[in-house]
Amino acid sequence: MQKDKFDRIISFLLGASWAIVIFGALITFKVFFFLGFSLALFTTVVFVVVALFLILGLDSFAINRQRLDEARKQTELLEKIYSQQTT
């Protein structure tokens, strides 16, 4: 199945987002480690939660796009059926 530009962009952004989460968590932990282990861990968890929320937003864009495409297909089929019934 071929993907359109929107799907390719969303897939790329999702992959890049996961990389940012992984490396960002490591960097965040290392940056805040001098303030203490517990603060560094807390800051890293907050960073990961916010990043995962943003990934969830990107994924919802892709899912809503698929739902819209399916609704368009169903509407087209229903219009064909209706036009056959009225003639």
8 A C-beta contact, residue 44 and residue 25: yes
- pLDDT for 45 equals 95
**Residue 44 burial (10 A CB sphere; 0-12, 13-18, 19+):** buried
Residues 73, 79, 83: CA angle, nearest 5 degrees: 150
What does the pLDDT profile of the chain (87 residues) look like in tens digits?
Answer: 567 888 888 889 899 999 999 999 999 999 999 999 999 999 999 999 999 999 999 899 889 988 998 999 999 999 999 998 887
Question: 5-32 vs 37-86: helix axis angle to the nearest 10?
Answer: 170
- The model carries a pTM of 0.72
